[in-house]
Amino acid sequence: MGDRERGGLVTYWQTVTWSRFPEPLLANITLSWNKSLELVDDVVVTFEYGRPTTMVLEKSPDRGVSWQPYQFYADDCLEAFGMPPKRVADLAPSNITRVICTEQYSKWVGVKEEKQVVFEVRSRFGVFAGPKLINMAALWTRMETMQGLREFFSFTNLRLRLLRPALGGTYVQRDNLLKYFYAVSNIDVPARCVCNLHASQCVLRDATLQCDCDHNTSGQDCQRCSRGFQSWRPGSYLPLPRGTANHCEASQTAASK
């Protein structure tokens, strides 16, 4: 998903200004797909006028019924969330799905204009596949064998919780509260449909994303056997390089007709 415009990012969304300071200026941006997706690259949020001092990226695995933090962002992680600051580079293969707080995208950088906040997916992939993602076989193997890894990159909804706007590297200037607000010009979410490895494409049917299922499977995520078939299992990346389809098999009733 991206806001593609000719000539660059021209339009942006903006909140009200911080006229009610010291009451917190809070805003949520929720993205809903009504379909299970999985990230394939970095999520990049581009702010038009300064990155928030404090924010949270959250995901929902169940169409907004429940929410889980993906990553915390703050100029001071200990003060904002009671968490020590970390980067993805600090993580190891055994804890790559750990939720961290980073100060990398929130600190004031002076005259250098930084607009992007990133949720780093490629760096997490790189822990297994190498920094240039050359050894993808190692990543696919881990996706199959490491509990919770594929689920970590999966979601149906994403939500940005904006908790404190950019301050320009200083304290809040009470005589100029109109300069404090959030403005988002673009959100890039590189993702693909979760189809349990039973489809090669996802299509839009009746305004709803739907896997174009193979292997005698059906459902929005190819999550069950088609009528007359049984023994559903998800497809597998293993054995490499072709994987295993795990077709649904004809049921005894259907086979006897």
DSSP E strands in 3-66: the ranges are: 13-14, 27-39, 43-47, 54-60
Cβ(85)–Cβ(102) below 8 Å: yes
Q: Give me 73's structure tokens.
A: 């962002």
Instruction: Indicate if 188 and 207 belong to the same structural domain.
Output: no
pLDDT of the residue at 153: 98
What is the C-alpha to C-alpha distance for residues 153 and 151, in angstroms, rounded to an integer?
Answer: 5
* Rounded (5°) CA angle 196-197-198: 90
Residue finishing a domain among 193, 212, 229: 193
Alpha helices in the chain (DSSP H): 77-81, 122-129, 136-145, 149-152, 252-256
Q: Name which of 147, 123, 115 is nearest 45 in CA terms.
A: 115
Q: In what order do the strands lie in the sheet with 183-188?
A: 13-14, 183-188, 43-47, 116-119
pLDDT of the residue at 114: 84
Domain harbouring 63, CATH code? 2.60.120.260
Instruction: Please give the residue range of the domain that contains residue 125.
Output: 13-193
Q: Name which of 239, 41, 67 is nearest 153 in CA terms.
A: 41
Is 19 in a helix, a strand, or coil? Answer: coil
Q: Give me 210's structure tokens.
A: 């739907």
List beta partners, residue 24: none
Domain harbouring 241, CATH code? 2.10.25.10
- Number of neighbouring beta carbons within 10 Å of residue 32: 12
Is 223 in a helix, a strand, or coil? Answer: coil
pLDDT of the residue at 193: 97
Instruction: Indicate if 144 and 213 belong to the same structural domain.
Output: no
Instruction: Indicate if 123 and 231 belong to the same structural domain.
Output: no
Kindly report the length of the chain: 257
pLDDT of the residue at 140: 94
Tell me, yes or no, whether 1 lies in a domain: no
What is the C-alpha to C-alpha distance for residues 11 and 13, in angstroms, rounded to an integer?
Answer: 7
Cβ(2)–Cβ(188) below 8 Å: yes
Instruction: Indicate if 42 and 169 belong to the same structural domain.
Output: yes
Q: In what order do the strands lie in the sheet with 101-102?
A: 101-102, 68-74, 54-60, 154-164, 27-39, 191-193
What is the C-alpha to C-alpha distance for residues 121 and 91, in angstroms, rounded to an integer?
Answer: 13
pLDDT of the residue at 9: 63
pLDDT of the residue at 111: 52
Domain count, the chain: 2
The tens-digit pLDDT sequence of the chain (257 residues) is 456 666 666 789 999 999 999 999 999 999 999 999 999 999 999 999 889 999 999 999 999 999 999 999 999 999 999 999 999 999 999 999 999 999 999 987 665 568 999 999 999 999 999 999 999 999 999 999 999 999 999 999 999 999 999 988 778 888 889 999 999 999 999 999 999 999 999 999 989 999 999 999 999 999 999 999 999 999 999 999 899 999 999 997 655 55
